[in-house]
Structure 1
Amino acid sequence: MMSGGAAADERALEAALRPRSLAEFIGQERLREQLSLVLDAARGRGRSADHILLSGPPGLGKTTLAMIVATEMGVPLRITSGPAIQHAGDLAAILSSVSEGDVLFFDEIHRTARPAEELLYTAMEDFRVDVVVGKGPGATAIPLELPPFTLVGATTRTGLLPGPLRDRFGFTGHLDLYEPKELEQVLFRSAGLLDVDLRDDGAREIAGRSRGTPRIANRLLRRVRDFAEVRADAVVTGDIARTALRVFEVDEIGLDRLDRAVLLALCKNFGGGPVGLGTLAVAVAEERETVEEVAEPFLVRAGLLARTPRGRVATPAAWSHLGMVAPAQAPFRGHGELDLFDNVDEA
């Protein structure tokens, strides 16, 4: 487990690698153009920008873009998150401290408690919150006027946001996974900031194992840098990157220890499935949420695992990737044998 000091150092490094403006932000060209128009128009009118909702998988830059919005508008950034807001009073306290023009970044907004969520409706639309004083029949609601501000919400689960909340955002942008060439640009930029001698083949090797995610690419770059400085001549070539990532248990398509453990348990212990998520989590000695939110999304996107009405199932690609032969009774022996549903949450 990473110590508090090491974790703080990692966070500091990640912060140092964040782009500071839309011009520095690599990838997401369409979204950058749209955001630029929204912010330029707001500045031209001398008003706060409309509320912005950013969606997409973790690690693509939603927090970075929120910081860039504040920087581009020349205003302070305030940060909170859905899990931290469990009561309407928590949200009211945050909103009452917002100054005119501020950007309020609301991470994991889909996890906001319902009472606070309802308070957010009037705050976003009317710049007002009703603070309830007292309890029972004698309780009264005192309206508190708020200065105009911009709320930037970030979510990895857009479908969990209620319609009334989604409708209050003036602009909604989706971040897509990065192509390997875009990740190579991210890596070269980060290598320059970290003073790492990164060669073209080294960048290609790391980018190909980064799951289309800049955060993962930067993390792998730092680990490969460590290996190169300790066991090589500090130059990150393709061979050095391959050797380093083998040491850190990241395979050629980006699977890490947990990903492979899930696939091995599914194929070796359960014959390829179907198996319930809870059972699979016990088999790999991890929490159910860890398997579902950390390992499973990439395994599904990579075509190695499927969710069915009866449980999780290994695909032919999973057996092939593990170097194993699927038994005759394994699922997916033919096309169309199993109906797949993304919203299944079986026992």
Structure 2
Amino acid sequence: MIKSSKKYQRKDSPVKSTRSIDKKDLEEVETKIRPSKIDEMIGRKQEKETIKMMISSSKKRDEVMDHVLFYGPPGLGKTTFALAIANEVGSSIRITSGPAIERQGDLAAILTNLKKNDVLFIDEIHRLSRVVEEILYPAMEDRALDIVMGKGSSAKTIRLTLEPFTLIGATTQVGKISSPMRDRFGLIQRLDFFGDEDMIMILKRAADLWSIDIDTDALEMLSSSSRGTARVGLRLLRRVRDYCMSKGIQSVNSDSVKSTM
């Protein structure tokens, strides 16, 4: 998540007030919650350094970045990493999910439409069928797509060359990823739950963007209820925001959070 320009302050140092809650431009602000660059993400120091190293190396070699598999519980930033990587390498990103790719032809259509250096992000990649998954093996390893023409003894395989691309997979169940698939990823990265400090920074930044005046106690209460998950914390913050807007409350404190919870 994006690092807040206002450093998080502890209880003994009052948090500066942001603007009062206002509905104006709310939908536009919603889209700014997700960071667009690696350095804008809160926490994840080691993971960010690894990704930045891979991006830098690929640029110096004038090659596409290696394939990456992110795994861990939902709501921890796997999609955010994929979008940030695409922005860092200056490429377009195609987003899909395992359940949406039902047939080999579905995946073949996606792969053949990728342009040079594009990023393909497959969420819930563990849900790809084994038949569809096998199409990815030569695509990931050789940048090629094998198409079988005909049936029986007259069948023949035609190999199409694909544009160089980076596959980013995301899964909550890494154990369901087959060994042949795992072996083709250059990096397999686990994302763990956020610590309290990082969660508070994530929530403070979102509060700033949503024009929510919120105090430290309220931030800490929301953080403790977020289970280390950014998605959960932001959902709770939205609930508090909506409650306060409906009640005409201009400044969020711990009582507001308790009333919402």
What TM-score, normalized to structure 2?
0.87
How many residue pairs were aligned?
A: 236
Residue 12 of structure 1 and its aligned partner are, at CA, apart by: 7.6
Larger radius of gyration: 1
Deviation at 1:230, TM superposition (A): 1.9
Residues 267-286 of structure 1 mapped to structure 2, 5 A cutoff:
none
TM-superposed CA distance for 1:229, in Å, is: 1.8
1:1-347 map, 5 Å: 15-245=31-261
Q: Which has the higher contact order (CA 8 A, sep 6+)?
A: 2
> After the TM superposition, which parts of structure 1 deviate over 4 Å for at least 4 consecutive aligned residues?
10-14
Q: Contact between 2:29 and 2:209, CA under 8 Å: does it hold in 1?
A: no
Question: What SS class does the counterpart of residue 16 from structure 1 fall into?
Answer: coil
Query: How far apart are residue 13 of structure 1 and its match?
Result: 6.6
CA distance in 2, matches of 1:69, 1:14: 21
SS of the residue corresponding to residue 57 of structure 1 reads: coil
Q: What amino acid is aligned across from residue 170 of structure 1 in structure 2?
A: G
Q: Is the 8 A contact 1:225 1:234 kept in 2?
A: no
Q: Deviation digits for residues 43-71 of structure 1, max 9, x if unmatched? A: 22221100011111000010010000100
Distance 1:137 1:11 in 2: 58
Following the alignment from structure 2 to structure 1, what is the Cα–Cα distance between the partners of residues 37 and 115?
Answer: 22
- Which runs of 5 or more structure 1 residues have no equivalent in the other structure? 1-9, 246-347
Cα gap change, 1:77 to 1:21, in 2 (>3 Å):
same
- Compute the RMSD of aligned alpha carbons: 1.6
CA distance in structure 2 between the aligned counterparts of 1:55 and 1:183, rounded to whole angstroms: 19
* Separation of aligned partners in 1, 2:130 and 2:107: 11
Distance 1:11 1:60 in 2: 22
Give me the identity figure in percent. 44
Aligned AA for 1:183? M
SS at match of 2:219: helix
Aligned to 2:5: none
Q: What amino acid is the match of 2:63?
A: R
TM-score, length of structure 1 as denominator length: 0.66
Amino acid at match of 2:184: R
The aligned amino acid for 2:47 is L
Per-residue deviation at 1:234? 2.3
Which of 211-220 and 137-146 deviates more? Answer: 137-146
* 1:113-134 deviation digits (Å, cap 9, x = unpaired): 1111111111000110111222
Query: Any gaps of 5 or more consecutive residues in structure 2?
Result: 1-25
> What residue is the counterpart of 1:306 in the other structure?
none
Kept in 2, the 8 Å contact 1:206–1:221? The answer is: yes
Residue type of the alignment partner of 2:186: G
Deviations 1:3-56 (A, max 9, x none): xxxxxxx99875431011111101211111111111111122221100011111
Shift in alpha-carbon separation, 1:59–1:101, aligned structure 2, 3 A: same
Paired amino acid for 1:121: Y
Q: Which amino acid aligns with 1:21?
A: K
What are the superposed Cα offsets for residues 244-288 of structure 1, whole Å, 9 maximum, x if unpaired? 11xxxxxxxxxxxxxxxxxxxxxxxxxxxxxxxxxxxxxxxxxxx
**Does structure 1 conserve the Cα–Cα contact (< 8 Å) formed by 2:194 and 2:230?**
yes
Partners of 1:88 and 1:11 in 2: CA distance: 37
Cα gap change, 1:13 to 1:210, in 2 (>3 Å): farther
Shift of the 177–67 alpha-carbon distance from structure 1 to 2, 3 Å rule, reads same
| 1:195 partner SS | coil
Distance between the aligned counterparts of 1:19 and 1:243, measured in 2? 30
